[in-house]
Structures are given as structure tokens and as C-alpha cells.
């Protein structure tokens, strides 16, 4: 009887874990948008991520949201996007862009529901204003493992390794079906730049083995 109870408890634990994983990886979505970076290159940025700017006594942060198929930017007077955003409509909503189903430069997921950070699909960066890795800085992130269009006939994906930002280009389609090798596109500067590669992309790519593993576990339990 004790053995059967233990076996039943293990079954319930496995089924619970399967449910948790299924919910996370089927329903969790990373919202993103494409915009030009400071060097004029198209980059892919996360919705729901807190960007920070610190300069002397001036500290602010901002977050991009998607509301009613529109991309909206909210500013905060503190770091970490804490407190309430500016209340004035003209400053609280600095920009407002289309982010509908047909928009190839934006994938609408609300800031509250966007799972880019939780799913570790980001390369975070901190750019300091000097060569020392301290003092005033700008903090942000790029989205990894999402196909985005860079021209009428080409598309790209991003990836990362430790301290390295990678890009692969498909020059013949806008669907990333014929990606080339990943090349180092890490921006270099005399200023200190810190990178944190939070890359769960490879883990998710290989997640197709999960049904096989689950099937094996269940077959041994039931």
C-alpha cells in the first residue's frame, strides 16, 4: 500500500511539472518591436522591459507597452520603472506606433504579459559614459531568437554568447528560412560596455525533445 501511494505521488508530481512547463512554453510570449539603434542599424527591442538612464542627479527610466495594437512608451522619474509614469498625456505617452497583426516590425504583447526577461530571451547591455565601468550609464536590452524583417527581401535573427552579440541574416526571404552563420556584431567603443547574455533560445530550440522524455516517464509510471 505504501509503495502504491508513493508511486501515485510521483505520478501527480510529474503531471504537475508537465502542466507548468506546458503553460510556460505554450502561452508565454515575448513582445517586441524593431527600431533603428544609435548607429543606424535595425535592432529588435523588448516590450515590458525597463530601460534606464542615469546621469548625475538625473535618473529616469522608460518602458514600452502595447495597448490596443499600439506601441506606447511610458517614462518614469525613477530608475527601475518604479512608481507612476508621468501623468501629463504629452509626456506620459511620448510616442504611439501601430502594432497590429499585419505589422512586421512589432509583435504586440502587453508589458504585463510579455515574458522576454523570464524566458531569458535577452542580451542586456549597460553603456557607461566613460572608460571606467562605473558612473553614468544607459541600460537596455535586445531580443534574441525572434525573426524580424530588415528590408523588403531580407530578415535576421539575434543570438548571444558571453560578452558577444551575434546576428544571422537571410538575404533571400523575410522569414529567416535560409539564415547564414551567426556573425559577431558586438558594438565596440572606448566607453565601457557590459553585456549580460540571458539566452534561453538554445534551450527552447531543443525543447522538442520534451514530448519524447515525457512519454518515456509516463510509460514507466502508468
User: What are 128's three cell numbers?
Assistant: 557607461
Model pLDDT, residue 109: 94
pLDDT-derived band at 199, boundaries 50, 70, 90: low
| The pLDDT of residue 6 | 53
pLDDT over threshold 50, residue 131? yes
Query: Which of residues 149 and 16 earns the better pLDDT score?
Result: 149
Q: Is the pLDDT of residue 51 over 90?
A: yes
First to last CA, the chain: 16
DSSP H/E element including 122: strand 121-128
Q: What Cα–Cα distance (Å) separates residue 162 from each residue in 41, 131, 195?
A: 22, 20, 8
Query: For residue 16, what pLDDT band results from cuts at 50, 70 and 90?
Result: very low
Q: What is the pLDDT of residue 101?
A: 78
Using alpha carbons, list the distances in angstroms from residue 8 to 5, 11, 14, 15, 222: 5, 5, 10, 11, 9
The 3-class SS string of 102-114 reads CCCCEECCCCCCE
Q: Which residues lie closer than 8 Å to 58 by C-beta, 6 or more apart?
A: none
Task: Give me Rg for the CA atoms of the chain.
Answer: 21
Question: pTM here?
Answer: 0.73
Mean pLDDT, range 106-123, rounded to an integer: 92
pLDDT at 176: 96
Q: In what order do the strands lie in the sheet with 193-199?
A: 96-98, 70-76, 58-67, 50-55, 137-143, 121-128, 193-199
Amino acid at each position: 500500500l505504501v509503495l502504491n501511494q508513493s508511486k501515485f505521488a510521483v505520478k501527480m508530481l510529474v503531471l504537475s511539472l508537465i502542466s507548468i512547463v506546458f503553460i510556460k512554453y505554450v502561452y508565454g510570449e515575448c513582445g517586441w518591436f524593431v527600431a533603428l539603434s544609435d548607429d543606424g542599424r535595425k535592432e529588435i527591442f523588448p516590450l515590458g522591459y525597463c530601460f534606464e538612464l542615469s546621469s548625475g542627479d538625473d535618473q529616469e527610466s522608460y518602458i514600452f507597452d502595447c495597448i490596443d495594437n499600439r506601441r506606447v512608451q511610458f517614462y518614469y522619474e525613477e530608475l527601475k520603472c518604479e512608481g507612476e509614469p508621468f501623468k501629463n498625456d504629452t509626456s506620459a505617452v511620448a510616442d504611439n506606433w501601430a502594432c497590429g497583426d499585419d505589422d512586421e516590425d512589432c509583435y504586440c504583447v502587453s508589458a504585463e504579459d510579455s515574458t522576454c526577461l523570464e524566458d531569458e530571451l535577452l542580451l542586456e547591455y549597460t553603456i557607461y559614459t566613460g572608460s571606467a565601468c562605473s558612473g553614468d550609464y544607459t541600460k537596455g536590452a535586445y531580443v534574441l531568437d525572434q525573426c524580424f524583417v530588415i528590408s523588403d527581401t531580407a530578415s535576421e535573427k539575434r543570438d548571444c554568447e558571453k560578452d558577444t552579440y551575434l546576428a544571422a541574416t537571410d538575404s533571400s526571404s523575410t522569414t529567416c528560412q535560409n539564415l547564414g552563420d551567426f556573425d559577431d556584431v558586438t558594438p565596440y567603443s572606448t566607453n565601457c560596455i557590459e553585456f549580460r547574455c540571458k539566452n534561453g533560445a538554445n534551450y527552447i530550440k531543443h525543447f522538442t525533445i520534451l514530448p519524447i522524455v515525457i512519454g518515456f516517464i509516463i510509460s514507466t509510471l502508468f
